[in-house]
Amino acid sequence: MIWPLGPRRPLAIDASAWQALTESLPYLRGLDDTQVARMRTLIAGFLSSKTFSGAHGLEPDDAMRLTIAAQACLPVLHIGLDPYDDFVEIVVYPSAFAVRRKVTDDDGLVHEYDDVLAGEAMDGGPVVLSWDDVAGPGRAPAANVVIHEFAHKLDMADGDADGCPPMPRAARTRWLETLHAAYDDFVDALDALEAALPGDVDPESEAADAWYADLPLDPYAATDEAEFFAVAAEAFFVEPQPLAQAFPDLYRRFVEYFGRDPMATGHAAD
C-alpha cells in the first residue's frame, strides 16, 4: 500500500493489512465484524486525510502509517473522525524528542529546560510521536502513546484540555463529577504509596517500579485531569480490567462515551 502525497482519495484497508494489524495490536481482536468494517473505513479515511512527516532522518513507511492510524482510530470507532479535523500533520521522530520549555517561578524568574517526550498533541496543530515508543514496550503494560495523544485531541476538541471531551451539558456534568472523584482518589493513592516507600528508594528510579506497579494507572496520570483522562483512555483500550476494578464509575462513563466495552467484547491483552 502506498499512501499518495498528491490529491487524496479513499484508500482500502484490505484483509491482509487488517490481519497484520491484529497480529501486532492484540486489543483489536475483540472487535466484532461490524466494528472491524467500520475500523477499516475509518483507517482509510484517516490515512487519506492526514500527512505523515518524519524527523531526524526517519521516513515513515506504510507499516508505520497503518499502525499509527489504527491506534488513532480506535478511540473514535463510534464517534467518527470529526474531532481530528483541527489538524493534518503527524510528525514521527525515531525516538524520544526534546521540547524547549519556559516556566516562570513565583519570584518572576524565567527558567528554561528541555522536556523529553514520547508524544505531544498540540491544540489546532500536529500530533508528534516517538516511533520507539509507538512500536516498543511502553512505560507500563497499559501504555499506548498514540491513544494517549489522540485522547488529548478528543479532550481539546472543545478548546479546553480539562479531561472532558465535547458532550451535552448534562453528560458533561456527570462526566466531570466522576472524573474528578476518580482523579482525587488516584492522587491520594499515589501520595500514600510514595509516603510508604522505603527511605533508600528513589521515587524517580527503576527501583520504585515494583511499588508503582500496584497502581491501576501510570503515576503520570496524577499530573492533572487532562493527563488523567489520557492515561485512563490508554488503559481502557489496552488493558481495561485494572481501570474497571479501581474506578468502576469512570469506566462506565468511558463505555458510554466511546460506545463500546472492551471487557465485554472478547478483549485480548496477550
- The domain 169-264 is placed in CATH, from the list 3.40.390, 3.30.1380, 1.10.3470, 3.30.43, at 3.40.390
Residue 146: is its pLDDT beyond 70? Answer: yes
C-alpha distance from residue 44 to each of 29, 34, 97 (Å): 19, 16, 28
Any idea what the Cα angle at residue 118 is, between residues 39 and 146, rounded to 5°?
10
Average pLDDT in the chain? 88
State how far the Cα of 88 lies from the Cα of 91, in Å rounded to an integer. Answer: 10
Grid coordinates standing for 127? Answer: 500530533
Question: How many CB atoms are located within 10 Å of the residue 48 CB?
Answer: 15
Residue 46: is its pLDDT beyond 50? Answer: yes
What are the boundaries of each domain within the chain?
15-137, 169-264
Average pLDDT over residues 45-51: 94
Confidence of residue 97 (pLDDT cuts 50, 70, 90): confident
| Helix (H/G/I), strand (E/B), else coil: 122 | coil
71: which DSSP letter?
A: H
For 167-215, the pLDDT digits (tens) are: 999 999 999 999 999 999 999 999 999 999 998 888 888 888 888 999 9
Q: Which of 203, 97, 197 is nearest to 145 (CA)?
A: 97
Average pLDDT over residues 233-250: 96
**CB under 8 Å to 254, separation ≥6 — which residues?**
232, 233, 236, 243
| pLDDT value at residue 270 | 37
Grid coordinates standing for 175? Answer: 462526566
Q: Which fold has domain 15-137?
A: Cyclin A; domain 1 (1.10.472)
Q: Which of 24, 77, 31 is nearest to 265 (CA)?
A: 31
Average pLDDT over residues 218-232: 97
**pTM exceeds 0.85 for this model:** yes
State how far the Cα of 104 lies from the Cα of 161, in Å rounded to an integer. Answer: 21
Q: Tell me the CA end-to-end span of the chain in Å, nearest whole number.
A: 28
